[in-house]
Amino acid sequence: MTHDLTITAVAARAGIRPTAIRYYESIGLLPAPARVNGRRRYDERVLQQLAIIATAQRMGFTITEIGTLLHGFSAETPAWERWQLLAREKLPEIEALIVRAQAMKQLLERSLHCTCLTLDECAQALHACPAPTP
């Protein structure tokens, strides 16, 4: 496999900044690239690795969780098993986040009907609104 992509080319094709690639390398999400005359050179596989990282980020996984996805299982563990285990752990967190966001939305909508003259009065009125139960 040839290592002919520069970090700038990889970043452009992946839609991220070169600093993100360097960061992923520094924390072990990506392997250290080959070097030619001291400059990083990548093969096409890095684009698939970056796509996996981006997908996991869109799912709400933290850098630590992405590290577990990529490196926290034996090599024989199939991808579906990795995703399913992490998804089962992540879903309750996302559900709680949705409940919190809905409560925030309700408070914002109530504030649109505010007729209070002072912020203290508003704070008391809005604070009296029932808190959501997860």
What is the share, in percent, of the chain residues with pLDDT greater than 90? 72
Instruction: Tell me what percent of the chain is helix, strand and coil, each rounded to the nearest 5.
Output: 60, 5, 35
Each residue's pLDDT tens digit, 46-103: 999 999 999 999 999 999 999 999 999 999 999 999 999 999 999 999 999 999 999 8
Q: What is the pTM of this model?
A: 0.80
> What domains, with CATH codes, occur in the chain?
7-72 (1.10.1660.10)
CB 70 within 8 A of CB 98: no
Q: Are strands 39-41 and 34-36 parallel, antiparallel or unpaired?
A: antiparallel
Whether the per-residue pLDDT at 14 is higher than 90: the answer is yes
Long-range contacts of 104-112 (CB under 8 A, 24+ apart): 106/132
What stretches of the chain adopt beta strand conformation (E)? 34-36, 39-41
